[in-house]
């Protein structure tokens, strides 16, 4: 079982586009199990026909809640004929958290904190008016939330010129980064996918839905597509990334 997971999931990149590209090369393995299900006691193991599954590094693929374990099992149960890791974002994220985040949460938290220094929400367009208004509509409520709830008052700028943020704001927002490995790993994924630690923290706190987080992260891109048209390859890439975002949000909801 461990060797099978090493073949499928070892060195899987977090970027779903790259994951999909890699998984186009090898021939997919045939499904070899009849039933995927969750174990009966915590931590809740993923079981394939009653056999426990391990991560690529050899750790038990066990989840902190039954609901999350059942969601992972559902990904395995949904595999039809062949096992496609690209279609299993929740399993990939679970592997990443168990193998990479839990043993060393400090560097992961620091990676999230780095985004706070140059968060997407801080850098505003100086035109056209429609884009300026769209950014304000999606981003200002999050900055208000950060100021009122996190006690973090950030400074805005125009364009791409770096704006140094007050240390007290950075410290206040850093304090909101979760320490639990499962929540931290999910927050890190949301941060990376959206370019915003504040969006990730708002999702983690239940302030922002997955759809609203996605819309906030893609204000500029959506504006450009509305003016210049949509690209099929870009839309496919977005769909894969949205699946990763949904997996991270599911971890936050169920862990």
In the DSSP assignment, the letter for residue 37 is: E
CA separation for the pair 209, 160 (Å, rounded):
27
The parent domain of residue 225 ranges over: 105-254
Same domain, 38 and 155: no
Same domain, 246 and 124: yes
Same domain, 200 and 74: no
Domain boundary, last residue among 51, 85, 101:
101
The CATH number of residue 192's host domain is 1.10.3580.10
Same domain, 55 and 17: yes
Same domain, 228 and 123: yes
* pLDDT single digits (tens) 34-58: 999 999 999 999 999 999 999 999 9
Q: Which two tokens stand for residue 55?
A: 């991560």
Long-range interactions of 13-16: CB distance < 8 A, separation 24+:
14/92, 14/96, 14/189, 14/192, 14/244, 15/241, 16/86, 16/89, 16/237, 16/240, 16/241, 16/243, 16/244
Average pLDDT over every residue of 3-20: 52
Same domain, 76 and 10: yes
* pLDDT single digits (tens) 164-197: 999 999 999 999 999 999 999 999 999 999 999 9
> Is the distance from CB of 222 to CB of 215 less than 8 angstroms?
yes
Tokens 């927050």 belong to 187
> Is a pLDDT exceeding 60 seen at residue 24?
no
Domain boundary, last residue among 101, 133, 168:
101
CA angle 143, 116, 20 (to 5 degrees): 105
Domain boundary, last residue among 79, 101, 123:
101
Q: Which two tokens stand for residue 200?
A: 């990730």
Average pLDDT over every residue of 139-158: 97
Using pLDDT thresholds of 50, 70 and 90, give the confidence band for residue 10.
low
> Is a pLDDT exceeding 70 seen at residue 25?
no
Tell me the average pLDDT of the chain: 92
Same domain, 51 and 14: yes
The CATH number of residue 85's host domain is 3.30.2180.10
Same domain, 150 and 41: no
* pLDDT single digits (tens) 92-122: 999 999 999 999 999 999 999 999 999 999 9
Using pLDDT thresholds of 50, 70 and 90, give the confidence band for residue 17.
very low
Same domain, 87 and 120: no
Please report, rounded to a whole number, the percentage of residues in the chain having pLDDT higher than 90: 82
CA separation for the pair 235, 213 (Å, rounded):
17
Same domain, 14 and 36: yes
Q: How many domains does the chain have?
A: 2
Same domain, 81 and 196: no
pLDDT for position 2: 46
pLDDT for position 12: 54
Same domain, 142 and 198: yes
> Is a pLDDT exceeding 70 seen at residue 60?
yes
* pLDDT single digits (tens) 188-239: 999 999 999 999 999 999 999 999 999 999 999 999 988 888 788 888 899 9
């Amino acid at each position: 079982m461990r060797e099978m997971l090493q073949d499928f999931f070892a060195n899987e990149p977090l970027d779903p586009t790259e994951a999909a590209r890699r998984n186009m090369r090898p021939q997919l393995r045939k499904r070899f199990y009849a039933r995927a299900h969750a174990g009966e006691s915590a931590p809740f193991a993923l079981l394939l026909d009653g056999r426990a599954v391990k991560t690529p590094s050899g750790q038990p693929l066990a989840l902190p809640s039954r609901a999350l374990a059942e969601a992972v099992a559902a990904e395995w149960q949904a595999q039809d004929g062949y096992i496609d890791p690209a279609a299993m974002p929740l399993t990939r994220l679970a592997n990443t958290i168990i193998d990479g985040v839990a043993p060393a949460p400090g560097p992961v938290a620091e990676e999230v904190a780095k985004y706070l220094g140059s968060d997407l929400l801080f850098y505003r367009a100086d035109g056209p008016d429609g884009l300026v208004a769209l950014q304000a509509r999606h981003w200002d409520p999050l900055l208000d939330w950060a100021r009122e709830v996190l006690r973090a008052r950030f400074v805005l700028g125009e364009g791409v010129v770096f704006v140094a943020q007050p240390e007290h704001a950075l410290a206040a927002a850093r304090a909101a980064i979760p320490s639990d490995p499962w929540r931290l790993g999910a927050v890190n994924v949301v941060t990376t996918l959206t370019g915003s630690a504040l969006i990730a923290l708002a999702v983690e706190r239940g302030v922002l839905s997955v759809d609203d987080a996605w819309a906030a992260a893609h204000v500029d891109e959506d504006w450009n597509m509305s003016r210049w048209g949509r690209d099929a390859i870009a839309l496919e890439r977005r769909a894969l990334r949205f699946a990763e975002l949904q997996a991270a949000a599911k971890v936050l909801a169920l862990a």
